[in-house]
Amino acid sequence: MQFGWLTLALSPSGDEDAARIHQQIEQVCYAEELGFSDVWLTEHYFTGESVYNDAVVFAAALAMRTERIRIGFAVVQMPFHHPVRLATQLALLDNLSKGRIDVGVGKGTIYNEYEFVGHGLRSDDSRERMEEAVDILEQAWRGAWTEAPLTYNGKFHQVEIPQLRPRPYQQPGPPLWRSVISPNSFTECGRKGIPILTARLGVERIKERWATYAAGLEEGGHDEATRARLMAQIALWRNVYVAESDAQAEDELSQLLLDTRRHMLHVREMYNPKDFVIDPMMLNPWTDPTVGEGESLAYTLETGCLYGSPRRVGEQVAELRDAGVQHLLCQTGFGDMSQEQNLESMRRFGEQVMPAFN
């Protein structure tokens, strides 16, 4: 199995931001030391989640501090970026890292409308903005290799550039990933040969979704080697917390998760515009503010977490492996968890769980 590491940790106040940013750099360096193959950065603004906010700039720092680990984005919120500038930044980052970049793209958070407002936008046209930006990104990277100019007249962007420089290190550019959850999205990404990230899938759903993606790959006419590579790359996101005992892990993780959820619901209540209504179909017991903490916690522990002693977590990883998971993304930090607590959980997972699956 391949193990990735994902960061979505909270800085509780502006006074702690600088320290927390440097702690996350330390965590990534430790992840590489432990043998994680890839690190994935999230992008959120204004409330201390993803404390570095600008994942692209933060990734440049990581590229300079690491040598082997791939650096991915889960995901770049495309409406918040000018596509030509983003194409240039990612091409530079690809060169700085010597080709270690993976770019998950998305239309922006469906819950935090205040992030759109803060960028002078609303989310109504976010999917159109994303698709146009991705189109420009891909054309700019291809043109960098053919030395072709780019003229683009879209709904949101009208650009004319002689040629993108620098060229990306990877040809034609860093792989573009999508975050998916619905069966239709698995099928469509399979047809197009797009690598995917997913989360909050119970074990019973994994085989079903993996088969759906495999069917899409078949429909798309991709060769056997490409199908095998993309099936192995499917990245499943899980919260991971390893303690000395099962009881200790459950107690500590439960408190961290509840604190995280309280913060999440508080900032949405405080900052989302009053005219913003989340589509009820997009809610689950973790994100639905009308669901009580007990039910919400039980849902999250069941569908999104691996926790316990090293032995128990190893059994949980084996269950995912047997269901078809070959690439597991491990989020080891939750809320304002201390650096010591995070690194100790990472150490237990890296030293006592991962070796059995390499």
Segment 246-263 shows an average pLDDT of: 97
- Region 281-305: what's the mean pLDDT? 96
CA angle at 201 for the pair 337 and 233, rounded to the nearest 5°: 90
**Domain presence at residue 289:** no
pLDDT for 9 equals 85
3-state secondary structure of 263: helix
pLDDT the model gives residue 323: 97
327: domain CATH number is 3.20.20.30
pLDDT reported for residue 200:
85
**Total structural domains within the chain:** 1
Indicate whether 272 belongs to any domain: no
Residue 63, pLDDT score: 98
Model pLDDT, residue 77:
98
Per-residue pLDDT band for 108 (boundaries 50, 70, 90) equals: very high
Give Cα separations from 12 to 8, 15, 30, 85 (angstroms): 13, 8, 23, 31
pLDDT, residue 358, reads 84
Average pLDDT over residues 44-51: 95
Cα 51 to chain centroid distance, Å, stands at 15
Question: Tokens for 60?
Answer: 């440049």
Structure tokens at 170: 């990877």
Q: Sorting pLDDT into bands at 50, 70 and 90, what band is 335?
A: confident
- Determine, yes or no, domain membership for 260: no
Residue 209 lies in a domain: yes
pLDDT at 313 over 90: yes
Query: DSSP string covering 13-59, please?
Result: SGGGHHHHHHHHHHHHHHHHHHT--EEEE----SSSBSTT--HHHHH
Query: Whole-number mean pLDDT of the chain?
Result: 97
Distance CA 41, CA 116 (A): 19
**Is the distance from CB of 104 to CB of 73 less than 8 angstroms?**
yes
What does the pLDDT read at residue 262? 97
* Closest by CA position to 76, among listed 45, 97, 114: 45
- Cis before 355 (ω within 30): no
Question: What confidence score (pLDDT) does residue 22 get?
Answer: 98
113-147 pLDDT tens trace: 999 999 999 999 999 999 999 999 999 999 999 99
Range of the domain at 311: 2-249+304-357
Inter-residue contact 342 to 26 (CB < 8 Å): no
- Indicate whether 297 belongs to any domain: no
Output phi, psi for 274, to 5 deg: -65, -25
Q: What is the DSSP string of 278-309?
A: --GGG--TTT-TTS-HHHHHHHHHHHHEEEES
Residue 277 located in a structural domain:
no
Of all residues in the chain, the percent with pLDDT exceeding 90 is 97
Q: Report if residue 291 sits inside a domain.
A: no
pLDDT tens, position by position, 59-106:
999 999 999 999 999 999 999 999 999 999 999 999 999 999 999 999
Q: 344: which residues sit within 8 A by CB, 6+ positions away?
A: none
pLDDT by residue (tens digit) across 180-219?
Answer: 999 999 999 999 999 999 998 989 899 999 999 999 999 9
C-alpha to C-alpha distance for 199 and 219, rounded to whole angstroms: 24
- In this structure, is residue 293 part of a structural domain? no
